[in-house]
Amino acid sequence: AQSVTQPDIHITVSEGASLELRCNYSYGATPYLFWYVQSPGQGLQLLLKYFSGDTLVQGIKGFEAEFKRSQSSFNLRKPSVHWSDAAEYFCAVGASYGNKLVFGAGTILRVKS
Amino acid sequence: DGGITQSPKYLFRKEGQNVTLSCEQNLNHDAMYWYRQDPGQGLRLIYYSQIVNDFQKGDIAEGYSVSREKKESFPLTVTSAQKNPTAFYLCASSEGQGRETQYFGPGTRLLVL
């Protein structure tokens, strides 16, 4: 069965600094991977996804993520964080059968001015 | 605008009471999902439905029930058998059963009186 680990529960960065959120997955076959963002009390918004092909994927709001098969990782990055990026971020991995997703526990991002 | 709506935004349940959460989508998606979110635990799958009149249990189905009589609707009933129902409930949908992106509604927060 697939699983996802987000090692950092909370991360605090200064506005304008770069950001990297870590995601490690466990899945026997080629996974498909997502990053979602959630503002307090809201639903999840898709940031980006990886299904196949280029291992560096671009998403909305200036985010990107890199799929590294050898490290079973799919880390999310942004070169310059804005105060509006403060939210909770979830990594998810999917299997091809039944389109079931498994989510990580999430990383709460705080942005200080 | 196409999207997923969930109602109500807040729901209060008394001891021994069944309550039903509504989820409607106008995206013409075949598949729909219910997740439960608790702080620090990410999202856990309760039930999912890949086509009308068919649904499967997810990882935490005990104490919940669903129906899928129409393509656009997937209501979730939290029964009195669910002893710890306080959580944030998210509904999602996707086009089909393969490697599809799931899109989320705004959520319903269930509280116990």
Q: Is A36 on the interface with B (CB under 8 A)?
A: yes
Taking residues A34-61, report their average pLDDT.
94
The minimal CB distance from A99 to the residues B42, B98, B105 is found for B98
End-to-end CA distance of chain B: 35
Q: Which tens digits make up the pLDDT trace of A90-99?
A: 999 987 566 7
Q: Are B107 and A9 a contacting pair at CB < 8 A?
A: no
Predicted pLDDT of residue A24? 97
Q: Inform me whether the pLDDT recorded for A33 exceeds 80.
A: yes
Predicted pLDDT of residue A97? 61
Q: Are A43 and B43 a contacting pair at CB < 8 A?
A: no
Q: Answer for the pair A10, A21: CB distance below 8 angstroms, yes or no.
A: no
Residue type, B45: L
Helix, strand, coil share of chain B (percent; to 5): 0, 50, 50
pLDDT means per 10 residues, chain B with 113 residues, are 90 92 97 94 93 94 97 97 94 85 95 89
- Which are the contacts of A24, defined by CB distance < 8 A and separation ≥ 6? A4, A5, A7, A71, A72, A73
Q: Are B56 and A41 a contacting pair at CB < 8 A?
A: no
Predicted pLDDT of residue A98? 61
Three-state SS at A27: coil
CB atoms within 10 A of CB B1: 3
CA distance A104 to A22: 10
**A-contacting residues in B 72-111 (Cβ below 8 Å):** 88, 90, 92, 94, 96-107, 109
